[in-house]
Structure 1
Amino acid sequence: MKKQNVVIGFLGTVLDAVQSRGDGRWRKWRPNIAMNQRDDFHIHRMELFIQEKFWGLAKQVRADIQQVSPETEVNFVPLELANPWDFSEVYTALHDWSSAYHFDLDNENYLTHITTGTHVAQICLFLLVESRQIPSVLLQTSPPKNQNKSMDTGDVGAIEIIDLDLARYDALAQRLAAVRDDAVLYLKSGISTQNPQFNQMIAEIEQVALNSPSPILLSGATGAGKSMLARRIYELKKARHWVSGSFVDVNCAVLRGDGAASALFGHKKGAFTGAADKRDGWLKTADQGVLFLDEIGELGLDEQAMLLKAIEEKRFYPVGSDSEVSSSFQLIAGTNRDLRHEVRAGRFREDLFARINIWHYRLPSLCERREDIEPNIVHQLALVSQELGRATRFNREAQAAYLDFALSEQALWRGNFRDLAASIMRLATLAPQGRISLELVQAEIERLKYLWQDVENPQKTHFRLPEKVNAAQWDEFDKMQLANVLAVCRQHKNLADAGRALFGVSRLAKAKPNDSDRLRKYLAKFGLTWQDIDV
């Protein structure tokens, strides 16, 4: 059995109105009547929202519909609105109606007509259809080009049906997916990273950046890319018109004493010795934009209290001022500390930590993303070539040698991407005719090894055994193996991450790998626990 069409919409108090008596009204295009005059579109029932004061017009419209389409049933739905331009009132009234209405989806097709009604009413109907609270498609009607002639010849205008189920529009769905993929790639600085955990994290950050104004906390070792990612988040938000102000990048580690509050919150003229002029401060400068407070754990407790108020109330007092100033900014905080430990030690306010910890992402170190080292080398080389004004490339042997070292356990990358960027800059600068040779690479490898060398024990670049280990009890082989294991552990924040790095190959052969347990048992052989490792 074919489903019957049910049209939902507003009585057109202007478009459906009768402006001439007698048969003259049929020369005027009236949307709710015209759609019933079509031979190719049959309507079983109409649900028209009306207000009591337009009851006379409503009866005339129903009579005219029954004249051209006697089989169409016309129901009037009373919808009294104190202000038809009040979005909240209109949406609430329509939502309440749709919640109570019995939609018979097995036997009826629903079409929501959005040509009549105020613009507010049309928007509210669109939202209810888009969210499937009204399970229908949209119906748009339009008049013929020349109403006076066309209506006489039977041209009653056009109708267009719009289905908001995007799953039916493969090309559009693919385009929307591509837009999101472009945004994710942008956050990764255009680098085709391979680490699955990192890629998953960036995909979530993209969603958060475009849908939440809440603070974002980025943690990770120095050089892990917190500042770069914060700026990319800002640029993505600005491109999508979520922010209109500036990106303000503040390193809290350089803020000390009375100057810290002044730099952040500003001061009035004469607030203290040396305050010759008024200063707005970084929070005010970031109004309508993004404020990135790197190394936020370095702030003093007084500044933390003031910052909490500014985040929650968007108002604060400049130093020495009795008048509040306002600033609406999104906060991105960066830290290389574990703020949970700082809270327990009394160095960081628990209430501020709770406020900025809504979205927390730990950026992995370069050693935790060794599969991403190669694409980052390519990226850094492109940046350096642009900066130097000449194309620079590796010779084949040089590229293989550098990559082998970069991926090996010898490459500690303690400074993370800063170390990598500096290394590529040195190679490119010294490369004759823009070709990086094997000799240059070998010299750079030695330079990096020296950079990461343990100053107190130059023979052991990363061998450091805890005091609990009785060195005399173990063979040199065992001590060297343990030292290397501990070196890897010190590059990771927890037992699970270190275990995955250490057993990355053998774990693939296990049905249920338990990296944490394997590492825990290995350490126990030497009388060690994870807490004994100086991470």
Structure 2
Amino acid sequence: MTLKTVVIGFLGTQLDSGRGAGRWEKWRPTVSLVQHEDTQVHRLELLYTLPHQALADQLKQDIETASPDTEVRLVPLEMADPWDFGEVYGVLYDWVKQYPFQPEQERYWTHITTGTHVAQICMFLLTEARHIPGVLLQTSPPRKQRAGSPGSYALIDLDLSRYDTLAQRFEQAQRDALDFLKSGIATRNPHFNALIEEIERVALRSKAPILLTGPTGAGKSHLARRMFELKKSRHQVAGDFVEVNCATLQGEGAASTLFGHKKGAFTGAVSDRAGLLRTAHGGVLFLDEIGELGLDEQAMLLKAVEEKRFYPMGSDREVSSDFQLIAGTNRDLRLDVREWRFREDLYARINLWSYTLPGLAQRPEDIEPNVDHLVTRCAAELGRAVRFNAEAKALYLRFAQSPEALWSGNFRDLAASVTRLCTLAVGGRIAAPLVEAELQRLRWLWQMNQADGNPAASETVDLSGVMSAEALDQLDLFDRLQLSAVVQVCRASRTLSEAGRTLFHRSRTQRTVVNDADRLRKYLQKHGLRWDDVSR
């Protein structure tokens, strides 16, 4: 079935005007729509404002003369100010929403050559959002003015998926953004890469608070700053990146540092202070270790995030600041909420976008590209070439990717280790003896952590706290010792998945489908236990 062509466009108060016979020698955009011999316009929805009723009537008559088969519908619109974007868009949106579109029978062309620039923009937006289910139509006058010449026209389809070149550019822009967030490090961990891909989308599309959780040194602060720099490169923020570690804020100084104060608000307040929330206006505020904030500061922060307004200490006048909040913590705020250490309403407000950054030990496949990145960076800082020899690099990576390497300080430990190697490298070559010495240093640094983190080296867990005496009596000594070790790991882990990865570190590499959390869940269920029972 051949679809009928319907054009929707504004009357051009200047370009479409003209009286007397001479008007037919002039190029008029709306009239030209029906003057193309190879194109038939079945219906024209001609939009206009009431002061131009006479011109609309004249134009309708001229179009019907030029093309008797074209139906012209005059659509009067009431607008007090045709240059007011809000008013114009609202009027057009209301008209479009009640229009009986029939895409299965008609095709729609949105004419954007005529009308004010505001009207043209609104028509573009309505078509791009598919409120008008069609394409854009742009008409142009003939290069050499000839009487009765219709000029030319072009159709613009806003379905970007049809434009391979544009699609490739968008894909490249996303790849560049992902690479930027990862500092150019070609990470190989699929979970981490998927995490960064979602964070990239959220960072560029949302102004809502973002919560980054993970162990100390996992890169929360670094990622927050990269997110800010990415937003700034896309002109989404105009202010600064303001970072504060909430663990360093104590007493009255906490509220003063964040929210500011008036002179004389407390002893020592000898002058007014703006506070970091106002410093972050128009930018990003990163509150690291947000779980360390006191309950009073949490209440003030909630109001500032929700209303963009707050009271400085000692002031009876509100101030405003519009910033995006990124929060970081190495604590499980769910437990803090349960134990009344963190406000439930603030947690709900900052938990819309929540991401847990895995520790370095949970990303063994990413250690090598991070080592390569750090060596390159250290070499640039030292001003000389530095590199591993093959034997030394294999030795370092074998240890770094093994369960023996705790990486309790995560990337801080790795960065410090690589810095020592690069600094001590003789002639810029990191050789096996130097690596051996560094591994001994790391083992010494982690000696206490190793004892804490190894269930076999620790005291057994008292299972009476998680199981009934009757259930314990049914366990063999072997099962009791094994379950105790498992519970010890669970209590040292933040999530079920993290505990599963620790417990099944070796066997997981031999499976085609890896689901550590499910394996651990089934083991606990065998003993009548759940994660909540053993993670407290």
Query: Structures share a fold, TM > 0.5?
Result: yes
Change (3 A) 1:3 1:203: same
Q: CA deviation at 1:28?
A: 2.7
Query: Structure 1 residues 24 and 511, CA, compared in 2 at 3 Å: closer, same or farther?
Result: same
The 3-state SS of whatever aligns with 2:272 is coil
Q: Does 1:354 align with 2:352?
A: no
Q: 1:488 to 1:376 in 2, by over 3 A?
A: farther
Please tell me whether the aligned partners of residues 460 and 484 of structure 2 are also in contact (alpha carbons under 8 angstroms).
Answer: no
Moved more, 268-277 or 344-353: 268-277
State the alpha-carbon separation in 1 of the partners of residues 160 and 71 from structure 2.
31
For residue 443 of structure 2, what is the amino acid of its counterpart?
Answer: K
State the TM-score, normalized to the length of structure 1.
0.89
The Cα shift of 1:407 comes to 0.6
Are 1:496 and 2:497 counterparts? yes
Aligned counterpart in structure 2 of residue 129 of structure 1, from 121, 127, 133: 127
Which residue of structure 2 aligns with residue 79 of structure 1?
Answer: 77
Matches of residues 465-480 of structure 1 in structure 2 within 5 Å?
465-468=459-462
Give the equivalent residue in structure 1 for 2:118.
120
Distance 1:518 1:47, change over 3 A: closer
Is 1:70 aligned to 2:68, yes or no?
yes
| TM-score computed with the length of structure 2 as normaliser | 0.89
Cα distance change of structure 1 residues 13 and 529 upon mapping to structure 2, 3 Å threshold:
closer
2:52 corresponds in structure 1 to 54
Distance in 1 separating the partners of 2:24 and 2:169: 44
Secondary structure at 1:377's aligned position in 2?
helix
Amino acid at match of 2:115: G
Q: Distance in 2 between matches of 1:368 and 1:487?
A: 18
Q: How does 1:291-370 map to 2 (within 5 A)?
A: 291-370=285-364
Give the aligned CA root-mean-square deviation in angstroms.
3.1
Q: Evaluate the alpha carbon distance shift between residue 23 and residue 413 of structure 1 in structure 2; reply closer, same or farther with a 3 A threshold.
A: same
The alignment-based identity, stated in percent, is 60
Q: In the alignment, what sits opposite 2:99?
A: 101
Residue 446 of structure 2 corresponds to which residue in structure 1? 452
C-alpha distance after superposition, 1:346-367 (max 9, x if no partner): 2112221122112111111111
Q: Partner residue of 2:415? A: 421
Aligned to 2:520: 519
Deviation of residue 484 (structure 1)? 8.4
CA distances 1:54-93 after superposition (whole Å, capped 9, x unpaired): 2221121122223333332222123222332333333333
Q: Within 5 Å, which residues of 2 pair with 1:98-497?
A: 98-145=96-143, 150-152=145-147, 154-454=148-448, 463-468=457-462, 492-497=493-498
Report if the CA contact (8 A) 2:214-2:357 is conserved. yes
CA distance in structure 1 between the partners assigned to 2:515 and 2:176 by the alignment: 36
- Counterpart of 2:14 in structure 1 is 14
Mapped contact 1:246–1:290 kept (Cα < 8 A): yes
Matched-pair contact (CA < 8 Å) for 1:62–1:74? yes
CA contact (8 A) 1:247 1:286 kept: yes
From the superposition, tell whether residues 514 and 51 of structure 1 become closer, same or farther in structure 2 (CA, over 3 Å).
closer
| Equivalent residue letter for 2:255 | A
Paired residues of 2:261 and 2:275 also in contact (CA < 8 A): yes
Instruction: Confirm or deny: 8 A CA contact 2:181 2:200 kept in the other structure.
Output: yes
Q: How many residues align?
A: 525
Instruction: Report SS of the residue matched to 2:131.
Output: coil
- Contact 2:374–2:418 (8 Å) recurs in 1: yes
Deviations 1:120-166 (A, max 9, x none): 221221122112221111001122455xxx133x5443322100111
Question: What is the distance in 2 between the residues matched to 1:524 and 1:184?
Answer: 39
Q: Deviations over 1:254-285 (max 9, x none)?
A: 11111111111122233333333322111111
Moved more, 449-458 or 395-404: 449-458
Deviation at 1:182? 1.3
Q: In 1, Cα distance between the equivalents of 2:50 and 2:106?
A: 28
| Cα-to-partner distance string for 1:332-390 (whole Å, 9 max, x where unaligned) | 11111111111222211222112211211111111111121111111111221222122
**Shift of residue 8 of structure 1?**
1.0
1:513 to partner: Cα distance: 6.9
Mind listing any 5+ residue stretches in structure 1 that lack a counterpart?
none
Distance, in Å, in 1 between the alignment partners of 2:164 and 2:371 is 37
Q: Which runs of 4+ in 1 moved over 4 A?
A: 455-462, 481-491, 504-514, 520-535
Q: Structure 1 residues 469, 10: closer, same or farther in 2, change over 3 A?
A: closer
For residues 378 and 29 of structure 1, do their structure 2 counterparts lie closer, same or farther at Cα, with a shift above 3 Å needed?
Answer: same
Distance 2:330 2:452 in 1: 27
Q: Judge conservation of contact 2:461–2:484 (CA < 8 Å) in 1.
A: no
Query: Shift of the alpha carbon at 1:401?
Result: 0.6
Q: Residue 110 of structure 2 contacts residue 134 of structure 2 at CA under 8 Å; is this kept in 1?
A: yes
Rounded to whole Å, the distance in 2 between the matches of 1:109 and 1:3 is: 6
Say whether the 8 Å CA contact 2:265–2:313 is kept in structure 1: yes
Q: Secondary structure at the match of 1:36?
A: coil
Which stretch has the larger CA shift, 24-33 or 427-436? 24-33
Give, in whole Å, the separation in 1 of the partners of 2:532 and 2:154.
68
Q: Distance in 1 between matches of 2:453 and 2:491?
A: 19
2:427 is paired with a residue whose SS is helix
Change in Cα spacing, 1:124 to 1:484, as seen in structure 2 (3 Å) is: same
The DSSP-based 3-state class of the residue aligned with 1:7 is strand
Describe the SS at the equivalent of 2:108: strand
How far did residue 496 of structure 1 move?
3.4
> How has the CA–CA distance of structure 1 residues 522 and 461 changed in structure 2, closer, same or farther, with 3 Å as cutoff?
closer
User: Quick one: distance in 2 between partners of 1:222 and 1:463?
Assistant: 24
Paired residues of 1:463 and 1:484 also in contact (CA < 8 A):
no
* Residues in 1 aligned to 2:513 and 2:298: alpha-carbon distance in whole angstroms: 45
For residues 403-425 of structure 1, give each alpha carbon's deviation from its aligned partner in whole angstroms, at most 9, with x where no partner exists. Answer: 11111000000001111111100
